[in-house]
Amino acid sequence: MEAIEEILPFLSIKSRLDLKAVSLSHVLGLTGSVDGIKLLIRNETLLKHLLDLTGDESESVAKDAVLCFVNITAEESGAEVVVDKFVDRLVPLAYQAVLDENGKLSDAWCMVLCNITRPEHLAERVVAQLLTMEYSIDKLTTCFTRVNYNKQKCHLNYLGPLFSNVSQSKSGRAVFCNQSTGLLRRILPFVHHEGSIVRRGGAIGLLKNVCFDSSVHEWLLSAEMDILSFVLLPLAGPEEFDDETNDKFPVDLQYLGPDKKREEDPDVRKMLVESLAQLCATRKGREYLRDHGTYEILRELHKFECTPDGDKNVLNAVENVVDILIRTEEEIGEDNLKELEIPDDVKSKIETMNDDVEK
C-alpha cells in the first residue's frame, strides 16, 4: 500500500511522461492478479488518476490506462467500485471512444463496458447512464452492424456481449424490443456470424434475454421478426427430412443439404435451446413451435448431443423443451407457464437437480 502511495504523484496527468509511463506500467502489472486489483480499488485517488490518463496525449499511456480498467473491471469487485465511483464519467467516455471510427482503443473500451454490465445488479445502473445520452444504443448498434465501422482495425466484437448484458435489464430489453426502431432485427443476422464467437454469442445472448418477456413473444414469432428461424438454423445439422416435415419448417430451414453444419460451441447451443424454452411459456408459442418443426429439429439435436461430440448440459436443456412440446395442451393445462406459482420447496428441489446435472 505504501508503494502505491509513493507513485500516486507520478500518475497525475500533469506529471512527466517518463514518470507516468513507468508508474503506470507498475499499476498495469498489479491488475494482472486478484490481489493486485483488491489493492488498487481501495485507492479512489489512484482510480481517478487512471481515468484521467485514459485521455492522455501519449497513445501508449492512454492505452495502458484503459487496459488497467479492462483488467480491474474483469473482477466483479473491481467492476462494482468503478461503477460506484465513476459511472457518470466512465460510461460517456467509453461510449464516445467506441463511436469514434478512428479510435484505436475502441475494442478495449468495449471490453470495459462489457465487464461493468456483466453483473446484473450493475447492468441497470450502466444502462440508466447510457440512456441519458440520446439514441446511444441505436448508435452502438450501428457500430456493431457495420462490420468495418472502425478504421483502425478495431473489430468491436465485444459490443455483442455488451448488448446481451444490457438486455438483462428491463429497460435494456425495452430498447431492443422497440418495434419502431428495428434494433433487434438488425442484430439478429449476427446469430449466424462465423467470423467471431464473441460477436455471435453476444447476439444469441441478446436473443435469449428478450425471449424472457412473454409479452413480446407474439411479435418475436411474427413474420416480421421470424425469430424461430434464427434460433433453429444453428441447431440444425445435415439430417434429411421428408417433404411433409420440410413443409413445416420456416423457409430458411427447408432442404438444408448434407453440408449443413451445426453450431459447434455447446454454450451457444445451450443458449439457443433455452431461448426455445422461453418461447414455450405461452400456449400460442408452444403451438407455433410445434407447427413449425421445432420438435423435429430438437429430435435430431438430441441424437447428436448423445454422441461423444455432444454435451450433457445441452442434452438436458433439449429434453426440458421436448418434454413440453410432446405434451398436449390439455395435459399442460395452463396458458402461460410463467404465471404458475411454484412453492419455494419445489423451486429448491428443481435448482438442486439442475446443479447436479451441470456437474
Q: Which of 171, 181, 198, 100 is nearest to 135 (CA)?
A: 181
Looking up cell 490481489 gives 35
Run of H or E including 72: helix 59-74
The b/e string for 218-241 (b: 16+ C-beta within 10 A; e otherwise) is eebbeeebbbbbbbbbbbbbebeb
Q: Work out the number of other CB atoms within 10 angstroms of the CB of residue 170.
A: 11
Q: Work out the number of other CB atoms within 10 angstroms of the CB of residue 72.
A: 25
Please give the pLDDT value at position 174: 95
Whole-number Å distance between alpha carbons of 116 and 72: 10
Residue 350 has pLDDT above 70, yes or no: no
Q: What tens digit of pLDDT does each residue of 37-50 get? A: 999 999 999 999 99
Q: Name the DSSP letter for residue 133.
A: S
Mean pLDDT of the chain: 92
Region for residue 153 given its phi and psi (left: phi exceeds 0; alpha: psi -120 to 50; beta: otherwise): left
**Average pLDDT estimate for 158-184:** 96
Looking up cell 440444425 gives 236
Report the DSSP beta bridge partners of residue 61.
none
**Average pLDDT estimate for 152-156:** 96
Q: What tens digit of pLDDT does each residue of 55-101 get? A: 999 999 999 999 999 999 999 999 999 999 999 999 999 999 999 99
When pLDDT is cut at 50, 70 and 90, the band that residue 355 belongs to is low
Q: Are 286 and 280 in contact (CB under 8 A)?
A: yes
Q: What tens digit of pLDDT does each residue of 107-130 get? A: 999 999 999 999 999 999 999 999
**Average pLDDT estimate for 195-216:** 95
Can you give the length of the chain in residues?
359
Q: Which of 209, 180, 206 is nearest to 193 (CA)?
A: 206
User: What type of residue is 115?
Assistant: N
When pLDDT is cut at 50, 70 and 90, the band that residue 338 belongs to is low
Please give the pLDDT value at position 346: 35
Residue 169 has pLDDT above 70, yes or no: yes
Whole-number Å distance between alpha carbons of 225 and 222: 6
User: What type of residue is 168?
Assistant: Q
Q: How far is CA 57 from CA 14, 15, 62, 106, 159, in A?
A: 11, 12, 7, 16, 26
Grid cell of 145 as nine digits: 452492424
Residue 150 has pLDDT above 50, yes or no: yes
Q: 21-24 long-range CB contacts below 8 Å, 24 or more apart? A: 21/58, 21/60, 21/61, 21/64, 24/50, 24/53, 24/61, 24/64, 24/65, 24/68
Q: Which of 104, 198, 92, 91 is nearest to 144 (CA)?
A: 198
Q: Work out the number of other CB atoms within 10 angstroms of the CB of residue 185.
A: 14
Q: Which of 94, 90, 105 is nearest to 150 (CA)?
A: 105
Residue 12: phi, psi to the nearest 5? Answer: -65, 140
333 vs 242: which has the higher pLDDT:
242
What SS3 state is found at 292?
coil
DSSP annotation string for 153-210: S---TTHHHHHHHHTTSHHHHHHHT-TTT-HHHHHGGGGG--S-HHHHHHHHHHHHHH
